[in-house]
Chain A
Amino acid sequence: MLLETYNGLVSQSRSLNDIHRINIAFGNTMTPQEVVELEESLFVGDYTLPPMRDDRTFNDRELMVAAREWIEQTLTHLKLMRKAEAEPFLRRDVRKSVTLYSDGGDPDDKTLIIALPGANHRLMMPIPSLLQALPADRADVLFIRDGTRSGYRQGLEGLASSIDTLGPAIPRLIDISRYRRLAGLGVSAGGLPSLLLGLQMGSGAVLVCGGGSPNDPRWVRPGQALPADTLRAAAERGIDAKLTIAFGTHSDPDRASARDICACLGIEPLEVSSRSEEVRHNILHPLALDGLLPAFLADRLGL
């Protein structure tokens, strides 16, 4: 089925950039097991290219090189998590822009991670790589993408008009009461919204990676509380959650934003460094290179 979908899209492609677009879209949605299955379908068996457009600007060899480079890079990412098998997440589209990744196990024993990516609809790495870093038997992931790419300041199309109304809307999508606990994971433009959402929903832990400042003037909207005020008010009431506001040691803008968030909460940010590479905005990839990402996520999200 996955191969048929891939072939259908490839057959309509005119340029190599069209192929890259397909690969990125697959990388933004696939499960770890689907990566393995697609690699086997394309490169282990007797794969035959589908009929292609007459006006395409690439040849068969260039197409297969692009596909192989992409799959091999994705598989390399999976291997960084140092697990013998692909984590058995299955994918279910809950609604437009909302996807649930679960192994189908009993939610009573699990944490539901509500994940908000940045504008690129990734969590600092392709989705299968991030999923491979998580234990499918202990966590489900509800992945919420902002189709407007406006940092969730307008909520979510067709569901909520602001970040303040997104939390109450999520139980209409999924029965969160069946889960043992909730956790939040947000990166980049999804970082601060993930924190706000986690506090609203009573999450047991929230991890923010490279999030924006709660003083960003783009959050100023009539009748809506400023994130900085919301965070201060939550801190005054008392927060019973493990909050991690992380930034890369080589990113001055992210350091400043993390300090802005933490100043509201009365906590200290977490500075992330790596022995593999400079840690700038993307803090998860260097942790993966160091072999530390699964343990980091388990610790910070309380899995």
Chain B
Amino acid sequence: MTGADIRVVIADALVYASVPRFRDSAEQADFVAGRRDIRMADLEIDSLAAMELCIAIETNSGVSIAPGELAEVASLGALAERVERALAT
């Protein structure tokens, strides 16, 4: 699974969770392509959406992240890197 694959998983999960920032398809595309990063604080992500993001990551990559751990991650790019590192070890 590549970094781009992980970004697709994250973007799809946020769309499915109705996170408003990800209704903008251009912003999604930029994130998936690695041209744009988005701070977690700028996402309007509620507790259920956080759970849905963690579920999608685990289902698609096998990497377990608890919803509470998202608070330790500064941005979606950093989250993708964290998943990538976990897959490499």
Contacts and interface: CB of A to CB of B under 8 A. Distances in A.
A251 B18 CA distance: 14
Contacts, number: 62
A215 to B, nearest CB: 14
B79 interface: no
B43 to A, nearest CB: 11
Interface hub of B49, B51, B52, B64 (most chain A Cβ within 10 A): B51
Nearest to A57: B64
Interface residues of B, number: 22
A300 interface: no
B23 interface: yes
Interface stretch (A93-101, A118-126, A159-167, A171-179): A118-126
Given A17-B58, A57-B64, A253-B20, A27 B48 contact: yes
18 contacts: A17-B59, A17-B66, A18-B55, A20-B51, A21-B55, A24-B48, A24-B52, A119-B16, A120-B16, A120-B17, A149-B15, A149-B16, A253-B20, A253-B24, A280-B44, A281-B20, A281-B44, A282-B46
Interface of A: 15-18, 20-21, 23-24, 27, 57, 73, 118-120, 122, 126, 149, 188-189, 210, 212, 218, 251, 253-254, 280-282
